Structure 1
Amino acid sequence: MNFIKDLSELEIIELISEIIFPRIISGILPFGDDSIGTLCGGKYLIINSDMFIAKTDLPKSLDYSCAGWKAVTMSVSDIIAKGAKPYGFLMSLGLPRDLPLSNFTKLLKGISSALEFYDMYLLGGDTNEACDLIIDGITFGFSNSRLIPRKGLKEGDLIISTGLFGLTAVGLHLSLSNKTFDISSQEEKDLFYKSICHPVARIDVLNALNEIDEIVASIDSSDGLIRSLYELSRANKLGILIENIPIHPAVISFASRNKLSPKEFALYGGEEFELIIGVRSDKFDAIYEQFQEFGITIYPVGRVIRKLGVYLYENGKIIPVEEKGWMHFKQTKY
């Protein structure tokens, strides 16, 4: 292996960890978690960095306001997954010199709309010339109570999600394909489009995360359900058995009409920004009711098992699930 293209994103992160290890500070959250956290003035300060690049993150069917919105949401979601409220946003912009001002204005309006929605403030940043649109976003957040790591699971714990999956995978499929699909209505088409243009980080779940003590692990699903479950498996050195795939009804309907697999859309999508949460199994009924009190419906996904990896219980059999989903460099497609 002689080039970056020969490595996966995970392998690159492992190389960074190996070479720079003496100068890595893990803080309260271990290196490799969604964000970095530390105590600051009696509160938990949490910081996340995420990068948006037009070539890989902006399908041609989306305009630049979608890019601005997504660039903020990508970074915010990781902060929320740790139980912290996002507060401030730093951004470094790499701008092509031939980017039309009309598109740049749309980009800024998308960023502004997202900051307003998440009740955040722009703290500063940097600009430079680049060969593609690049947005490096850094979000700062605070928590008064605790931070929820990826690591905290034990055998027998339950895995739940805050939402249903598959919309963004269908939206991207429609955006990238030249084929004609059977779409039932304009409302269905708009639903799929909105999922990739205007995804929403689950800021509405924040109070529940801070109040429900039985939540022991959390990660967002921005890289897809399966990728996120694998991240939990690696962080805890345990396995996860999927017993239920929470698929959006519109995805099931679309897939059925077009002879496609709703399971594939739900498992291997990405940028849904739902939270995948680990809870103690003996507390599930109480936890379900507590989430309901906050107006949040949770969906069972599976349970934690001893054997490392991710598996699917289907038709009476336990089947290993391949790790796929969005990954830069060596693997650049679903």
Structure 2
Amino acid sequence: MVCKDAIKAFDMKREARLSEIGEGLLLKHILDTLGDSGDLLLPKGDDAAALEFGGRLVMAVDMFVEKTDKPASMGWRYAGYKAVAAVLSDIAAKGAEPRYLLTSLGLRGDMLFGEFEELWSGILECSRDYGVRVLGGDLSETGEVVVDVTCIGVGGNLIPRGGARVGELVAVTGAFGDTGAALHALLNNIEAEEDILMRFLKPRTRLREGRALAETGLVSACIDSSDGLAASLYHIAEASNVAIVVHKLPVSGKAGEYAEEHNLDLKELVLYSGEEYELVFTFSRDGVDRVREALEKVGCGLYVIGEVAEGRGVYLVDEEGGVEDIRFKGFEHFRA
């Protein structure tokens, strides 16, 4: 049996390493933060979570890895928050409602307990912000920190990524470029506006917008922009066997100012930064007013950026009417 005095002692030692604390005390600390079992059919800490359920089950999983996803200057609280926001964004793109999370943690033995507390508090903060409940998960020792989050939700009129049809419009839920500017600032220790930094560190997830779009019945394809705008457009085009022609890039004014000040390519920031967690979607032309109204009801604007065309690929029409290929580029694991 775990000694309560030992738990209290280590609770006070934020500088203690996890290798000193051990799995038992760490699990006890986690379980203490989850509240009572409520409507669960099995108590917290059991081998599985069980609950009554009816309807369409929607599930998504996302993994946050220290080496590839966490800049050195990013605090652990923001890392935890972002790990949850990423999987919620996938649920948002399907027009579904998230309900529960299962969170598996791979932690370094030399990680400080205070760092772990920050990571876990970020996970809980994001779940509370979006009304999602952490049911449990798993814990293991790894060479670097890994946060694997599974989200379980419910949905009605679900939106695929492969339903775009020729002649439809292509739109997004917000401007792009801020996250690229923020990452540039963080990696180079450059001061930047807090609004820009927060777009990267504590991203907004478009859950209400996704449900609003789904409820219109007019949206044929949708994806979140975690891999970047260009990659998202390519994913929709490939899954739908169509081409996408962009007439106007959704440029963030603040990103434009940052790019000019630091001599960065603004188009690169907009197309390839990634991790904006905006929704990229297609819908019928005659539904513009209804889609705009649905988004406005949840406090979001409609940004039409292009159209779906016959063919393959993604293209950009410049101000002179010239057409250029938008090359496929986004973060891809296992590639140099």
Q: Could you state the TM-score of these two structures normalised by the residue count of structure 1? A: 0.82
2:199 maps to 1:170: no
CA distance in 1, matches of 2:124, 2:298: 28
Q: Which residue of 2 aligns with 1:325?
A: 330
Q: 2:299 aligns with which of 285, 295, 299?
A: 295
Q: Which amino acid aligns with 2:254?
A: A
Shift of 1:277: 1.1
2:211 maps to 1:200: no
Shift of 1:289: 2.9
2:275 aligns to what SS in structure 1?
Answer: coil
Q: Which amino acid aligns with 1:150?
A: R
Q: 2:165 aligns with which of 147, 154, 171?
A: 154
Unaligned runs of 5+ in 1: 1-39
Q: Which residue of 1 aligns with 2:154?
A: 142
Q: Which amino acid aligns with 1:329?
A: F
Residue-by-residue CA offset, 1:287-321 (whole Å, 9 max, x unaligned): 22332233220101111111111111013111111
Q: Which residue of 1 aligns with 2:36?
A: none
Q: 1:130 aligns with which of 142, 158, 163?
A: 142
1:68-147 aligned at under 5 Å gives the runs: 68-143=80-155, 145-147=156-158
Shift of 1:41: 6.2
Q: 2:221 aligns with which of 214, 217, 220?
A: 217
Distance 1:133 1:41, change over 3 A: closer
Q: Which residue of 2 aligns with 1:15?
A: none
1:237-252 aligned at under 5 Å gives the runs: 237-252=241-256
Q: Could you state the TM-score of these two structures normalised by the residue count of structure 2? A: 0.81
Q: Which residue of 2 aligns with 1:229?
A: 233
Q: Which residue of 2 aligns with 1:5?
A: none
Q: Detail structure 1 runs of 4+ shifted over 3 Å in the superposition.
A: none
Check whether the contact 1:44–1:146 (CA below 8 A) recurs between aligned residues: no
2:74 maps to 1:62: yes
2:138 aligns to what SS in structure 1?
Answer: strand
Q: Which amino acid aligns with 1:239?
A: A
CA distance in 2, matches of 1:62, 1:190: 14
Distance 1:256 1:102, change over 3 A: same
Q: Alignment identity in percent?
A: 36
CA distance in 2, matches of 1:290, 1:200: 19
1:217 aligns to what SS in structure 2?
Answer: strand
2:193 aligns to what SS in structure 1?
Answer: helix
Shift of 1:192: 2.2
Unaligned runs of 5+ in 2: 1-51
Q: 1:308 aligns with which of 309, 312, 319?
A: 312
CA distance in 1, matches of 2:54, 2:79: 35
Residue-by-residue CA offset, 1:234-264 (whole Å, 9 max, x unaligned): 1001111111111111011111222222111
Q: Which residue of 2 aligns with 1:257?
A: 261
Paired positions, count: 284
Q: Which residue of 2 aligns with 1:13?
A: none
Check whether the contact 1:239–1:306 (CA below 8 A) recurs between aligned residues: yes
Q: Which amino acid aligns with 1:260?
A: L
Shift of 1:128: 0.6
CA distance in 1, matches of 2:95, 2:166: 23
Distance 1:112 1:42, change over 3 A: closer
1:326 aligns to what SS in structure 2?
Answer: coil
Q: Which amino acid aligns with 1:292?
A: E
Q: Which amino acid aligns with 2:70?
A: L
Q: Which residue of 2 aligns with 1:34?
A: none
Tell which structure's C-alpha radius of gyration is larger: 2
Residue-by-residue CA offset, 1:205-251 (whole Å, 9 max, x unaligned): 14412321111111000000001101001100111111111111101
Q: Which residue of 2 aligns with 1:32?
A: none
Pairwise CA RMSD: 1.6
Residue-by-residue CA offset, 1:10-37 (whole Å, 9 max, x unaligned): xxxxxxxxxxxxxxxxxxxxxxxxxxxx
Check whether the contact 1:161–1:276 (CA below 8 A) recurs between aligned residues: yes
CA distance in 1, matches of 2:290, 2:204: 27
Distance 1:252 1:88, change over 3 A: same
